[in-house]
Amino acid sequence: MDSDLPLSTAPSLPSAEEEAAGRGGILARLRERIVAFAASRYAGAHAEDLAQEVLVVIHEKYGHLHRLEDLVPLAFQILRFKLAAHRRKAYRHGDYDAVDVDLFPPASDAPDPAAVLERKELLARLLGGISRMGERCRELFRLKLQGRTFVEIQQLLGAASLNTVYTWDHRCRKQLLESLGGSWDAPAGRGAR
C-alpha cells in the first residue's frame, strides 16, 4: 500500500541535521525556563550553573528523548534534585546563611573609644579618691587589688578579728564613694542624683 502513495504525501523522516537543530532549539527554550525556575528558587547566581548541569544530564542519559512534552517534566525533576543537593552542600559548607563581608564588615575586637575614655576617667577618679584617703584605707585597697583574702588582710594589718577588717572595708568604700560625689558613675562635683 505504501508504494501506491505518491512521494510527496509519504511522511518523510527528518535528517540528522534537522533533528539536531530541532533538539537544539528545544533545549535552548528549555534552558531559559530552567534558569528562570532556578533563579526563582533562591539559586541566584548559581542558576546558570544548575541549568548547565541539568542539560548535561539530559544530553548524556536521555539523548533518546526529542519531544518538548517529554523533556520539560524530566528537566524540572532533575533540576529539583540539583537544587536540593545545592542547598545541602551550601548548608554543610556554611554558605547557606553567609553574609558578604564587603556589605557587612565584621565587628571589630578593638574596644570602643568612648568606653576606653570613660574607663580612663573612672580610673583617674578612683586613684584620686584613694590618694586622699588615710593610710589604713589605702593599704586595704592595695591588698584587695592584689587579690588577698580578708583573712590574709587581717593577718597583714594585725586586726584583732575578721569582723574588724569587714568594718574597715565598709568604711573605706563608703568614704571613697563620698569623695567621688556619692556615685560611682557620676563625675566628681556633680553629686548623687
User: Residues 117-132: what's their mean pLDDT?
Assistant: 89
- Give the pTM: 0.40
Radius of gyration of the chain (CA): 41
**Is 44's pLDDT higher than 60?**
yes
20 plus 83 within the same structural domain? yes
Q: What is the pLDDT of residue 146?
A: 92
Of residues 81 and 15, which shows the higher confidence score? Answer: 81
**Is 22's pLDDT higher than 90?**
no
64 plus 133 within the same structural domain? no
Residue 86 located in a structural domain = yes
Q: Could you give the 3-state DSSP secondary structure of residue 13?
A: coil
pLDDT band at 169 (very low <50, low <70, confident <90, very high): very high
pLDDT band at 117 (very low <50, low <70, confident <90, very high): very high
Q: What is the pLDDT of residue 8?
A: 46
34 plus 80 within the same structural domain? yes
Q: What is the pLDDT of residue 158?
A: 92
Q: What is the pLDDT of residue 193?
A: 41
Residue 173 located in a structural domain = yes
Residue 37 located in a structural domain = yes
85 plus 140 within the same structural domain? no
Residue 101 located in a structural domain = no
- Per the structure, the complete domain to which residue 75 belongs is given by 16-93
Round to whole Å and give the CA distance between 125 and 93: 51
Q: Quick check: 86 and 46 in contact, CB under 8 A?
A: yes
Q: For residue 176, what is the domain's CATH number? A: 1.10.10
Residue 119 located in a structural domain = no
Q: What is the pLDDT of residue 191?
A: 44
User: Residues 34-61: what's their mean pLDDT?
Assistant: 81
Q: Measure CA of the first residue to CA of the last residue in the chain; give whole Å.
A: 113
Q: What is the pLDDT of residue 103?
A: 75
Residue 44 located in a structural domain = yes
CB atoms near residue 57 (< 10 Å): 16
Q: What is the pLDDT of residue 136?
A: 92
Residue where one domain finishes, among candidates 47, 78, 93: 93
**Is 100's pLDDT higher than 80?**
no
> What is the domain count for the chain?
2
Nearest to 26 by CA among 86, 71, 83: 71
State the chain's mean pLDDT as an integer. Answer: 79
User: How distant is the alpha carbon of residue 75 from its chain centre?
Assistant: 34
133 plus 179 within the same structural domain? yes
79 plus 134 within the same structural domain? no
